[in-house]
Amino acid sequence: MQETVIELRGIINQFGRTRVHDDLDLDVYRGEVLGVVGGSGTGKSVLLRCIAGLRPPQGGSIRIFGQDALNCSEAERRAIDMRMGVMFQDGALFSSLTVRENVEVPMRNLAGLNAGLRRELADLKIAMSGLPYKAGDNYPSELSGGMRKRAGLARALALDPEIVFLDEPTAGLDPIGAAAFDELIKALSETLGLTVFLVTHDLDTLHATCDRIAVLAEKRVMYTGTMADMLHIEHPWVHEYFHGPRARAAVETLERNA
């Protein structure tokens, strides 16, 4: 039996009078890589922000690690947040700190971790996200987009969280960089036992990394299932998404490589 780490029930999100989510249910299991897809404006990022605690939903319940995340004390919420990491689209690194200092920021909350050890651990995280050692001394503005994403991932992983949220991790990367990032996510989720909540538009990423896919449509999670399941769904949007010209190309490359 799989352990549910995130449990969403009846989530309602609305902006003014437009309802983005209506009675949305979703489960995320421990150790899986869950890809969330959906057309533009279906509220993928809103959902991510909801779970990460950046935006309370108008209705419904969120349970994280079996705990009610909406009705808990600030200390409990902080404890939950410490076990989760978020990588924002463009990294959202603090621009006045070097990459190493950025990765050290979450570690400063831990008592007893001295500066030397913090630095060594930050260097380790930077190396694990595939950045060269020297990048630790750079400021975010001196890095390329792909390196900023890796630095954002290093910061999200700083405290060895159990869940990481990745918002469009491969958007704006060149195909080689994107493929390398996919491998990185896969390898990290396998060795660290990470649960990954991945919002993406990139079909290659879905193919390469995701154990399970959740499709957002009509204001809720329409379907969940593996990539193979997705290919047999008749819903017009889902069919178009997974059978369009780009989807076919992604499947073909995958089959060629296999």
Partner 1 sequence: MVQTGADRTTHDTDRVAGGPEQARIDSTGAEHALSGVLTVRSLPAILPKLDALGEKDLKIDLSGLKKIDTAGAYALIRLQSRLQNEGGTLSLAGVQPDHQALIERVAQSLPKPEAQTQARRGMMDGFDSLGRKVVEFLRFLGDLHAMLGLFLARLVHVIRHPSEFRVTALVHHCDQVGLKAVPIVALMGFLIGVVLAFQGSVQLRQFGAEIFVVDLIAISILRELGILLTAIIVAGRTASSYTAAIGSMKMREEIDAMRTLAIDPALALFVPRILALLIVLPILGMIANLTGLIGGAMMAWIELGISPGMFMARLLDDTSLDHVIVGFVKAPVFALIIGVIGCHAGMQVGGNAESLGAQTSSAVVRAIFMVIVADALFSVFFAILGI
- State CA 232 to chain mean position distance: 26
135: its two tokens: 């990048």
Judge whether 25 and 221 are in contact, CB under 8 Å.
yes
- State CA 231 to chain mean position distance: 23
Binding mask 125-164 for partner 1 (x = CB under 8 A): xxxx----xx-x--xxxx--------------x-xx----
Candidate ranges 44-52, 60-68, 204-212, 237-245; the one touching partner 1 (CB under 8 A): 60-68
CB nearer to partner 1: give 127 or 233.
127
Residue 190 CB, shortest distance to partner 1, in Å, is: 8
For 180-212, letters b (16+ CB in 10 Å) and e give bbbebbbebbeebebbbbbbbbbbbbbbbbbeb
Query: Phi-psi region for residue 81, left (φ > 0), alpha (ψ -120 to 50) or beta?
Result: alpha
User: Whose CA is closest to 39, among 193, 196, 160, 219?
Assistant: 219
Q: Per CB under 8 A, does 218 bind partner 1?
A: no
**Of 105, 171, 180, 192, which one interacts with partner 1 (CB under 8 A)?**
192
Binding mask 88-127 for partner 1 (x = CB under 8 A): -------xx----------x--xxxxx--x--xx-xxxxx
Q: Per CB under 8 A, does 29 bind partner 1?
A: no
Quick one: DSSP state of residue 44?
H
- Applying CB under 8 A, which residues contact partner 1? 1, 3, 65-67, 75-76, 78-80, 82-83, 95-96, 107, 110-114, 117, 120-121, 123-128, 133-134, 136, 139-142, 157, 159-160, 187, 190-193
